[in-house]
Chains A and B, each alone.
Chain A
Amino acid sequence: DSGVTQTPKHLITATGQRVTLRCSPRSGDLSVYWYQQSLDQGLQFLIQYYNGEERAKGNILERFSAQQFPDLHSELNLSSLELGDSALYFCASSATGLVDEQFFGPGTRLTVL
Chain B
Amino acid sequence: GQNIDQPTEMTATEGAIVQINCTYQTSGFNGLFWYQQHAGEAPTFLSYNVLDGLEEKGRFSSFLSRSKGYSYLLLKELQMKDSASYLCAVRDLGGTYKYIFGTGTRLKVLA
- Size of interface on A: residues with Cβ below 8 Å to B: 21
Question: Which residues from B are CB-within-8-Å of A99?
Answer: 30-31, 48, 50, 91
Instruction: State A43–B89 Cα separation when bound (angstroms).
Output: 10
The secondary structure that dominates the B interface is: strand
A42 within 8 A of B: yes
Which residues from B are CB-within-8-Å of A43? 43, 87, 89, 101, 104
The stretch from B9-17, B70-78, B92-100 touching chain A is B92-100
Please pick, from A33, A55, A107, the residue contacting B42 in the complex, using a CB distance under 8 A. Answer: A107
Asked whether B101 lies within 8 Å of A48 as measured between CB atoms, the reply is no
A residues whose Cβ falls under 8 Å from a Cβ of B: 2, 33, 42-45, 48, 55-58, 90, 99-107
Contacts of A90 in B (CB 8 A): 42-43
Given the complex of chains A and B, what is the CA–CA distance between A18 and B98 in angstroms?
26
- The secondary structure that dominates the A interface is strand
Q: Which A residues lie within 8 Å of B89 (CB)?
A: 43
- Verify A42–B43 contact, CB threshold 8 A: no
Q: Say whether B44 faces chain A, with CB atoms less than 8 Å apart.
A: yes
Q: Convert B81-111 into 0s and 1s, putting 1 for each residue whose CB lies closer than 8 angstroms to a CB of A.
A: 0000001010100001111111110000000
Among B43, B45, B96, B103, point to the contact of A56 (Cβ < 8 A).
B96
Contact B99 A42 (CB under 8 A): no
